[in-house]
Structure 1
Amino acid sequence: MRYFVHIGYNGLKYNGWQKQPGVMNVQGVIENALSKVLKTPVFIIGCGRTDAHVHASQFFFHMDVEQDWDFDLVFRMNKLLPAGIAIFEVIQMDGLQHARFDAVLRSYDYFIHTYKDPFLNGLSSFYLLDKLDFDKMKQAAAILPKYKDFRAFCTSPDKYEHTLCNVMSASLAVDENGDKLRFQISSNRFLSKMIRIIMGQLLKIGRGVLSVDEFEHYLIYNQTPELITPAHPQGLYLSKVTYPYLNLPPRTEFSSILQKQSDLSWQLL
């Protein structure tokens, strides 16, 4: 029987989602916990691969388990798993739906704070910047859905069959004090470090180091910037994953205070 499992995790202590030998990873921690609880080897496939120290306020994986269980699996898993990983629900599927290949939309949030705040450490990326040109940054973000090929904003484009991404929306928001930024982007797929590279370029635009025209030039001609400076990973969240047959709201009560606050007090630029 195939099951989809809805989870969230704080990625600060992990070297990404994907299982790798010798390093802490979310996939391996969950597989070990499931195998102990269900008393049989369990292998899982995630909806994507987050980078080291990147968070997920909504994430899905699927698993195939032949035997039934007669206990509260969510409760037992949450007792066993580290505090930074939460199981929200286990959903029995009626076929062989695939957590990665069936996803039609993935949305990410990137949070920045421009003052030193120890309570945001690890939940948002700290950049000691002032007088960012929010209007120019907004103009650049609005350009993104107009283009399909994002080869210019990928660290290793040649490892993909193609670098086409259907970016459906991209926007910037700022809090009422102007010292916290939120970048949101949704697409069917993303390339390696694509969002962090874009965020790095938007920060250059905000500082006046890069023009909006130069930013668009990279997209028009698939030209990789001479110096790629991805933004820090700690501010990035995979925040929504949508399937044709499954569209659950994120469990924001389990995600960072930043995302709860953003729904209440952030103003769209």
Structure 2
Amino acid sequence: MHIFGAQILMMKRYFLEFAYNGSRFHGFQRQPQQMSVQQKIEEALSTVLRQEIQIVGCGRTDTGVHALQYFAHFDAQGELPQRIPFRLNSLLGADFAVYRLLAVEAEAHARYDACSRAYVYQLSLRPDPFRQETAFHFPRAQMLDPQKMQAAAALLLDYEAFFPFCKTNSDVKHYGCQLSRSEWDFSDPYLWRYEVQSNRFLRGMIRLIVGACLNVGLGKLSLAELKAAMDQQKALKRAYSVPPQGLFLKDIQYPYIQEDLPSL
């Protein structure tokens, strides 16, 4: 708290819900001499609230990765002005959409309190000038076997450790993840989608999983080889990380936040 004359201004914690197109940003986390999502949001909040604001995000998306839903928490002093989401949207531009500002308990944490997260990866089966930033065009799509790809995705649900799908040089302390969904949606003949949900994810995990599914679908990696790597928790011989532009973070869940909670 701070004292101005006889007035005491209390620090309060808030969650900000927003979405972003990550194409023009060097990931979520602040980077020296590179524009990040975190820097853009912090600058806009500091301008609107007229105080220096620092945010803590629900995860670290890589360069070029998008978020259909994202939560970040921050602390601010005193009473906040009205219509903050509207004001932020006017400052942030077309790459962002701010949806809600929510008051939360002082101990609430955007990263550590998230009990579930989901990602979707979009694979374009034909060139599409309108999806260059939001899908990966795979030129050998006609050679893929969807049944094998689905089997590879389903196989991962039998495991709780994912060393084969962790980016090298990661500082992760353990490889445990509790997947509750891992499946492909082939209903659109031109845009296939891989969807995965878990309590947590490793660095680069989804892009490596999608790459493994593609290699299985091409016959470059057998299901038996994939199973052996998972059983033994060893690196895949043909590891392939797909490009970032097809990846979206979404559906972050907290035990104390409901979809129908109104914005401040």
TM-score, scaled relative to structure 2: 0.91
1:174 aligned partner: 186
The answer on 1:159 being equivalent to 2:168 is no
The answer on 1:101 being equivalent to 2:101 is no
The answer on 1:190 being equivalent to 2:204 is no
Q: Once the 2 structures are TM-superposed, how far is the Cα of residue 247 of structure 1 from its aligned partner?
A: 3.9
Secondary structure, in 3 states, of the residue corresponding to 1:135? helix
The answer on 1:117 being equivalent to 2:128 is yes
One-letter code of the match for 1:162?
H
Q: Once the 2 structures are TM-superposed, how far is the Cα of residue 82 of structure 1 from its aligned partner?
A: 2.5
2:45 aligned partner: 34
1:228 aligned partner: 239
Segments ≥4 residues shifted beyond 4 Å: none
| Alpha carbons 1:170, 1:186 under 8 Å: kept | yes
Bigger Cα displacement from structure 2, 240-249 vs 67-76: 240-249
| Alpha carbons 2:221, 2:238 under 8 Å: kept | no
- The alignment of Structure 1 onto Structure 2 pairs a total of residues equal to 248
Q: Once the 2 structures are TM-superposed, how far is the Cα of residue 158 of structure 1 from its aligned partner?
A: 5.5
Deviation string for 1:133-154 (max 9, x for gaps)? 0001111111111101101111
**1:220-259, aligned counterparts within 5 Å?**
220-248=231-259
TM-score, scaled relative to structure 1: 0.89
Distance in 1 separating the partners of 2:219 and 2:135: 23
Q: Once the 2 structures are TM-superposed, how far is the Cα of residue 110 of structure 1 from its aligned partner?
A: 0.4
Bigger Cα displacement from structure 2, 68-77 vs 20-29: 68-77
Q: Once the 2 structures are TM-superposed, how far is the Cα of residue 157 of structure 1 from its aligned partner?
A: 6.4
Secondary structure, in 3 states, of the residue corresponding to 1:65? strand
2:158 aligned partner: 146
Secondary structure, in 3 states, of the residue corresponding to 2:192? strand
Unaligned runs of 5+ in 1: 250-269
1:216 aligned partner: 227
- How large is the Cα RMSD of the aligned pairs? 1.3
Q: Once the 2 structures are TM-superposed, how far is the Cα of residue 95 of structure 1 from its aligned partner?
A: 3.3
Q: Which one of 84, 106, 128 corresponds to residue 95 of structure 2? A: 84
Secondary structure, in 3 states, of the residue corresponding to 1:91? strand
Bigger Cα displacement from structure 2, 226-235 vs 237-246: 226-235
Q: Which one of 127, 131, 137 corresponds to residue 149 of structure 2? A: 137
Bigger Cα displacement from structure 2, 49-58 vs 215-224: 215-224
Q: Once the 2 structures are TM-superposed, how far is the Cα of residue 32 of structure 1 from its aligned partner?
A: 0.7
Q: 1:42 to 1:10 in 2, by over 3 A?
A: same
Q: Once the 2 structures are TM-superposed, how far is the Cα of residue 176 of structure 1 from its aligned partner?
A: 4.1
Distance in 1 separating the partners of 2:105 and 2:41: 23
Q: Which one of 19, 25, 28 corresponds to residue 36 of structure 2? A: 25
| Alpha carbons 2:186, 2:192 under 8 Å: kept | yes
Q: What percent of counterpart residues are identical? A: 37
Secondary structure, in 3 states, of the residue corresponding to 2:32? coil
Distance in 1 separating the partners of 2:154 and 2:72: 31
Bigger Cα displacement from structure 2, 80-89 vs 155-164: 155-164
Deviation string for 1:38-93 (max 9, x for gaps)? 11100000000001100000000001011212331111110000210111010011
| Alpha carbons 1:54, 1:237 under 8 Å: kept | yes
Distance in 1 separating the partners of 2:27 and 2:259: 23
Distance in 1 separating the partners of 2:86 and 2:170: 43
One-letter code of the match for 2:73?
H
One-letter code of the match for 2:22?
G
